[in-house]
């Protein structure tokens, strides 16, 4: 097989093995709906929610405590 044919075949095989997945960037105020099973959701406010939940569990939800 000649080089151009081999390169075409290799490129075709690589493109079949690579599959693009959907990534959704959102926050908790706007949750995504009707997602495909292979979709990935990136929650932009996840660090803030994590901090708030941990602060509430440690200090009872008061805003007068700061870490």
pLDDT tens digits for 24-46? Answer: 999 989 999 999 888 999 999 99
Query: Would you state the structure tokens that stand for residue 42, as one six-digit string?
Result: 């990136």
Query: Which residue range is the domain that position 39 belongs to?
Result: 17-66
Structure tokens at 12: 């075709």
Write down the pLDDT at residue 31.
92
In a domain, 35, yes or no: yes
Tell me, what's the pLDDT at 29? 92
Considering the domain boundaries, does residue 34 fall inside one? yes
Residue 4 has a pLDDT of: 75
pTM equals: 0.50
Say how many domains are in the chain: 1
Instruction: Give the pLDDT confidence of 2-15 residue by residue, as tens digits.
Output: 677 777 777 767 66
In a domain, 33, yes or no: yes
Residue 8 lies inside a defined structural domain of this protein: no
Other Cβ atoms closer than 10 A to 48: 12
Q: How far apart are CA 23 and CA 43, in angstroms?
A: 11
Start-end of H helices in the chain: 3-17, 46-59
Residues 37 and 11: their CA atoms lie apart, in Å, by 27
> Do residues 43 and 27 touch, judged by C-beta distance below 8 A?
yes
Higher pLDDT, 23 or 18: 23
7, part of any domain: no
Q: Is residue 1 part of a domain?
A: no
């Amino acid at each position: 097989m000649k080089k151009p044919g081999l390169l075409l075949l290799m490129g075709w095989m690589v493109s079949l093995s690579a599959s693009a997945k959907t990534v959704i960037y959102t926050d908790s105020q706007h949750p995504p709906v009707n997602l495909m099973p292979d979709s990935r959701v990136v929650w932009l406010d996840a660090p803030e929610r994590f901090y708030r939940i941990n602060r509430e569990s440690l200090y009872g939800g008061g805003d007068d405590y700061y870490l």
